DNA sequence: GATGAATGAGAATTCATTCAT
DNA sequence: AATGAATGAATTCTCATTCAT
């Protein structure tokens, strides 16, 4: 456990930097946060920043990865607590939790919007076991081949709609857009074959 | 008519600036384009920029508005040429034209992704008469109340998916994502009541 | 003449920078002179430097060109005043003037040594008409084909010997090295054919 | 012998540093090589550098001394292999070997040009016994008094001309300058008395 | 309206050096 | 002897903005 403590100590300054950067990115946006700001807030020397990160983009990426991972886990756990009756239900609960979190923390949303592409996160191992679409296979929400694409499309949709709605108020407030978003997702998950047959009717 | 010519002449420098800025934004990205770059390329003096624009954000906004308007019109016209048999068909043709355009001009896509929210454009008068969801009312693709939201959600989805797919190659190339995107949109437009009843089965 | 005055005014800041840089390069050496130092001494803003020079190397080059050109003219004039009886005499007077100047201003020598290669200067038009080897042709000090090479070799020799002798005191002081240098140059200018025949004797 | 081994081991890190520094100086130039670069390449800790060298200048000096000594020995040996018929011949062979080596390794040339003055090396004991001007005395290439000066002047000349010719291409390529340089040196070694008498004729 | 020289605050980055372990 | 995390002064370079002409 000593080595654990050592490496913990070794990472202390790095963690100070990460914490400071997160706080500043959230309050001022990443574009207007200088490395000077970060080290001043972290209480470390300028050079220490470059000991751990190559540039501002790198610390942003690190923070985005950590935040989105955390966000997804948190939403997943919240959904589980509501005993979803189906995979669809579960997904909708997850989305709802995400929307609520974004509504509570618009700055976080602003930060994640277009600094984050879910593509990378969703294909990462850590998130695979969380899952947002339930198990692949029999009970899956969509054909296995489309699994990744669907997860990805849904997450991009959620972020885009939240951003526009919560931050810009366009085309309507989040209280109006949320139900619409949820029903949109429900529609997305409808079995494709059934859609095609229904499409014929029009 | 003289005054018309005069005001046209008066705008000459402004147009030079707009043209120069567009070209630079596309080739270097808006972040790395300085006002210096713009005036040099436009062949006007530094001070002249501030005669017409307050800052870089303003010229960017102007360009984004013009570009997205043009893009939507172009896609609309292309769709019309294919004699769509229904409003859904027409919308899918429009989306296809947009995707193709983005695939041909990744730089334009990158520019729009980072600097445009369809919310503003879609609610503008100039785009209203283009329309992407057909006429409101009887034959409409979705309930009148959801009209704007649906248009908005679809456009955000298209941009997000294109960006991730074309620029980042995540979660797959655009040739794979395009059919998936089109079928996703088809599903989004399915009548909600039918969905709900189908949702029960799960 | 108005335009002359205008362009003179336009160059005022540039000249302030050049003067400040020269003074600093001479007193601290070019390596330990920062752009900050230069602008502070010149009394202009930081950005103004970059309005006129791309980087420190550029201002150094400009100064070196001006200084060496001046130096050569000065030495040439001094030589002329002594009514040299032959082209060889004239060259030796020039070299002597250069050596004396370097001995009086070791800092200048230190600056020019290995920041300057005579090659560029000697082939420039401004120096062509000064000449250090007299007229090409009949009376020339060396075959026309070797003219440039000879001028170049002599100047490199002078600078090298002066530097080592004056700055480092190696292998002897300048009062000892000067006569040796002059006689070395005299030897260099000896007709090659004669040398070859003399070489046989050894 | 144990102590010998120990002190050899003790020097192991120092040698690692020297080897790493040489390689870096040659590939990046000494100015753009940081101590960080050196220790990283050497695989030792930052602090270890300061255990053996006071600053970068010190390690540079050490390397320059070793390199130029090696270079001179190498050139000397090569010259010997060609069975020079006279001291002049021998010197010219040495110079030729040096020029060829510089032409093959322009980086080495650049490094030596900027950081070496032959003055120090030529007066060192290790080089005295190599000699480039043959034995002092009867058969010497020049009067004993001028021995050191001449050796020095020739070496500076060779380095300067090689640098300008090989690196800058001024005033001509090395294939053109080499013969000229060799004949110049031949002239430099001509007996001074004979010169003086010949000088009268002009 | 138009110009463009001048500004100077500020951002990023480097690197020799120290020192507790 | 050896380490390497931490330092922070120093430096380069950018760029939006102003203003006298």
CATH code that applies to domain C1-53: 1.10.10.60
- Helices assigned H by DSSP within A29-146: 35-42, 46-52, 56-81, 87-104, 106-112, 118-122, 125-128
Could you tell me the two tokens for D76?
């000397």
Residue with tokens 């294909």: A123
User: What one-character-per-residue DSSP string does chain B give?
Assistant: -HHHHHHHHHTHHHHHHHHHHHHHHHHH-STT--HHHHHHHHT--HHHHHHH-SSHHHHHHHHHHHHHHHHHHHHHHHHHHT--SSHHHHHHHHHHHHHHHHHH-HHHHHHHHHH--HHHHHTSHHHHTT-SS--SSTT-SS-GGGHHHHHHHHHHHHHHHHIIIIII--SS-HHHHHHHHHHHHHHHTS-HHHHHHHHHH-
Length A22 CA → F8 C1' (Å): 24
The alpha-carbon gap from B87 to the nearest alpha carbon of chain A, in Å, equals 10
**Distance, CA of A13 to C1' of F5, in Å:** 10
Q: Does the CB of D35 fall within 7 Å of any strand E atom?
A: yes
Answer whether B153 sits within 8 Å of A181, measured CB to CB: yes
CA distance B187 to chain A (A): 5
Residues in chain C: 202
Tell me whether residues C122 and D187 touch, CB distance under 8 A.
Answer: no
- A82 class by beta-carbon count within 10 Å (0-12 exposed, 13-18 middle, 19+ buried): middle
Which residues of chain B fall short of a pLDDT of 70? 1-10, 119-121, 123-145, 191-202
Closest alpha carbon within chain A to B202? A86
Q: Which has the closest alpha carbon to C70: C8, C17, C27, C121?
A: C121
SS3 call for D14 = helix
pLDDT value at residue A124: 62
A14 CA: nearest nucleotide by C1': F5
Stretches where chain A sits below pLDDT 50 are 1-5, 195-196, 201-202
User: Would the CB atoms of B195 and A186 count as touching at under 8 Å?
Assistant: yes
pLDDT in tens, D94-132: 999 999 999 999 989 988 888 877 766 666 655 555 566
Q: What is the pLDDT of residue B195?
A: 46
Q: Which residues 2-41 on D are within 7 A of strand F at the CB atom?
A: 10, 12-13
Of residues B118, B115, B116, B109, the one with CA closest to residue B153: B118
Is chain D in touch with chain A: ≥3 Cβ pairs within 8 A?
no
DSSP secondary structure code for residue C32 in this structure: T
Which of C61, C190, C196 is most worth mutating to test chain D (most D CB atoms within 10 A of its CB)? C190
User: Do the two chains A and C touch, given a threshold of 8 Å on CB pairs and at least 3 pairs?
Assistant: no
Closest approach of chain D CAs to the CA of C4, in angstroms? 36
Q: What is the pLDDT of residue A150?
A: 84
Determine the distance between A34 (CA) and E9 (C1') in angstroms. Answer: 14
Does A188 sit within 8 Å of B188, measured CB to CB? Answer: yes
Report helix angle A87-104 to A147-162, nearest 10. 30
B32 Cβ nearer than 7 Å to chain F strand: yes
B186 touches strand F (CB under 7 A): no
Cα–Cα distance for residue pair B35/B45, rounded to 1 Å? 10
Spanning CA of A161 to C1' of E9, the rounded length in angstroms is 38
Question: What are the chain A neighbours of B114 within 8 Å (beta carbons)?
Answer: 114
3-state secondary structure (DSSP) of residue D169: coil
- φ/ψ bin of C80: left (φ > 0), alpha (ψ from -120 to 50), beta (otherwise): alpha
Residue C55, CB, strand F, below 7 Å: yes
In chain B, residues 3 through 62 whose Cβ sits under 7 angstroms from any atom of nucleic acid strand E: 10, 12-13, 44-48, 51
Q: List bases, strand E, within 7 Å of protein CB.
A: 1-20
Give residue B140's pLDDT. 61
Nearest-CA distance B14 → chain A (Å): 28
Q: Does D198 contact C180 at a Cβ distance shorter than 8 Å?
A: no
C148 vs D contacts (CB less than 8 Å): 171-172
- Closest alpha carbon to C1' of E11, residue: A34
Could you give the C-alpha distances from D3 to D14, D15, D80, in angstroms and in order?
17, 18, 38
**Phi, psi torsion values for C20, nearest 5 degrees:** -65, -45
Cβ-Cβ contacts under 8 Å for D194 (sequence gap 6 or more): C198
- Are A172 and B149 inside 8 Å of each other by CB? yes
- Residue-wise pLDDT tens for chain D (202 aa)? 444 445 556 678 999 999 999 999 998 888 889 999 999 999 999 999 999 999 999 999 999 988 888 888 899 899 999 998 888 888 899 999 999 999 999 989 988 888 877 766 666 655 555 566 665 555 556 665 676 778 788 888 899 899 989 998 888 899 999 999 999 888 888 765 454 455 454 4
Measured between beta carbons, the chain A residues lying within 8 angstroms of B164 are 117-119, 152, 156
Residues from chain D that touch C153, judged by Cβ atoms under 8 A, are: 157, 161, 180-181, 184
Cβ–Cβ under 8 Å, residues B183 and A195: yes
Contacts of A168 in chain B (CB under 8 A): 117, 119-120
Strand E contacts in C 14-33 (CB under 7 A): 14
Q: Are B18 and B33 in contact (CB under 8 A)?
A: no
Instruction: State the DSSP H helix or E strand holding residue D94, giving kind and residue range, or none if neither.
Output: helix D87-104
| Distances, alpha carbon B83 to alpha carbons A196, B88, B89, B98, in Å | 20, 12, 9, 17
Query: Cβ contact (<8 Å) for B152 and A171?
Result: yes
pLDDT, tens digit (0-9, with 9 covering 90-100), for A101-125: 999 999 888 888 867 767 666 666 5
Residue C113, strand partner residues: C116
Per-residue pLDDT of chain C (202 residues; tens, 9 = 90+): 444 445 566 678 999 999 999 999 998 888 899 999 999 999 999 999 999 999 999 999 999 888 888 888 898 899 989 998 888 888 899 999 999 999 999 988 888 887 776 766 666 655 555 566 665 555 556 666 677 788 888 888 898 889 889 988 877 899 999 998 998 888 888 765 554 455 454 4
User: Whole-number Å distance, CA D51 to C1' F2?
Assistant: 9
Residue indicated by tokens 């550098």: D49
């Amino acid at each position: 456990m000593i080595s654990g403590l050592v490496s913990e100590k070794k990472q202390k300054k790095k963690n100070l930097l990460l914490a400071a950067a997160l706080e500043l990115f959230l309050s001022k946006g990443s574009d207007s946060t200088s490395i000077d700001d970060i080290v001043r807030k972290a209480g470390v020397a300028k050079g220490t920043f470059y000991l751990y990160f190559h540039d501002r983009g790198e610390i942003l990426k690190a923070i985005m990865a950590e935040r989105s991972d955390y966000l997804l886990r948190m939403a997943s756990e919240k959904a589980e607590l509501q005993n979803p009756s189906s995979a669809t239900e579960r997904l909708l609960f997850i989305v709802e939790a995400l929307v609520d979190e974004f509504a509570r923390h618009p700055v976080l949303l602003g930060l994640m919007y277009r600094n984050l592409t879910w593509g990378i996160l969703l294909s990462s191992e850590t998130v695979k076991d969380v899952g947002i679409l339930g198990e692949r296979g029999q009970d899956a929400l969509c054909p296995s081949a489309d699994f990744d694409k669907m997860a990805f499309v849904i997450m991009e949709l959620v972020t885009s709609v939240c951003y526009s709605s919560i931050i810009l108020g366009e085309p309507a407030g989040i209280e109006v857009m949320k139900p619409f978003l949820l029903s949109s997702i429900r529609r997305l998950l409808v079995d494709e074959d059934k859609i095609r047959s229904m499409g014929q009717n029009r």
